[in-house]
């Protein structure tokens, strides 16, 4: 399987196309990840809050693929924020994934005890247990504040990016801090008829590609890391087949017309913040 790589601020290379496992039931995860490995995926994105780290660990163990050939990302959830709590959660993730290091470790939300959590993550990084560190769902303001007060700035911010919520210019903003953007929800979770959208369909016909491939290529050309997810082998193969064409500047501009400004998860909305914080036992 072809891939392209981006270089993080500390020199670590990250595959630009990965495989997401959000909302894949734990009982299905092992078989799905094993199939993805067979297809050729080597970059996997999971989280403490996805409750399927152990199944990914089993899939990797049974695949026979050497650990150094894989790029593993996981995240600490808000309920485990805090210095000691984060250290404990990290070790639990290591144990479940059956590995002695994580390639990329992220804070999952920009709320709660972010700074004590980040200090723990910085220490784990300096100990060599993490190759790269970053955050998820940080707004530009929160990201700026963390960068200004951190000993080691986050190297990644994983945020929602899709044709309906494009976050135009976010890649340039993050470059100011030498950080790479990752896109979750790239296919808008299939909502609002995205797979039959006339503009995306027309562009797809032009290149002989599916709507999903057009979207993934659009994100990749923006210099953003992306994680499509599918439990079907045919879709896994299709989603990976995005390195043999390039969207024209005109087509990149056409996709801008799809912006609605409405996110799947309004991470800066008080109601959403209250909901997330309610998960803290």
Q: Which residues are catalytic?
A: 50
Residue 281 to residue 264: CA distance in whole angstroms: 25
In this structure, the strands spanning 43-45 and 19-20 are parallel
Residue 132 to residue 129: CA distance in whole angstroms: 9
Residue 70 to residue 60: CA distance in whole angstroms: 9
The secondary structure of 14-29 as a DSSP string is EESB-EE-TT--HHHH
Name, in order, each residue with C-beta under 8 angstroms of 205's C-beta and a sequence gap of 6 or more. none
The alpha carbons of the chain give a radius of gyration, in whole angstroms, of 18
The token duo for 178 is: 């030498």
Coil vs helix vs strand at 118: helix
Phi, psi of 66 (to 5 degrees): -65, 140
User: Both ends of the chain: CA-CA distance in Å?
Assistant: 42
């Amino acid at each position: 399987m072809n891939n392209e790589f981006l270089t993080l601020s500390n020199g670590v290379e990250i595959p630009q196309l990965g495989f997401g496992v959000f909302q894949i039931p734990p009982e299905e995860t092992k078989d799905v990840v094993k199939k993805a490995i067979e297809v050729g995926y080597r970059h996997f994105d999971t989280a403490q809050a996805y409750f399927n780290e152990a199944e990914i660990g089993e899939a990797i163990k049974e695949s026979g693929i050497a650990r150094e050939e894989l790029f593993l990302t996981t995240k600490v959830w808000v309920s485990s924020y805090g210095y000691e709590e984060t250290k404990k959660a990290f070790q639990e993730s290591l144990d479940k994934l059956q590995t002695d290091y994580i390639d990329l470790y992220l804070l999952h939300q920009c709320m709660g005890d972010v700074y004590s959590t980040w200090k723990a993550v910085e220490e784990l990084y300096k100990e060599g247990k993490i190759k790269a560190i970053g955050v998820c769902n940080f707004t530009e303001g929160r990201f700026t504040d963390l960068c200004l007060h951190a000993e080691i700035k986050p190297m990644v911010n994983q945020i929602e990016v899709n044709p309906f919520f494009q976050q135009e210019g976010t890649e340039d903003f993050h470059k100011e801090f030498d950080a790479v953007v990752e896109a979750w929800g790239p296919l808008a979770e299939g909502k609002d008829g995205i797979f039959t959208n006339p503009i995306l369909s027309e562009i797809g016909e032009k290149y002989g590609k599916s709507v999903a491939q057009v979207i993934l290529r659009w994100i990749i050309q923006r210099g953003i890391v992306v994680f499509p997810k599918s439990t079907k082998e045919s879709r896994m193969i299709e989603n990976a087949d995005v390195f043999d064409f390039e969207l024209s500047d005109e087509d990149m501009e056409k996709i801008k017309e799809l912006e609605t400004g409405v996110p799947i998860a309004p991470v800066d909305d008080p109601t959403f913040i209250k909901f997330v914080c309610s998960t803290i036992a």
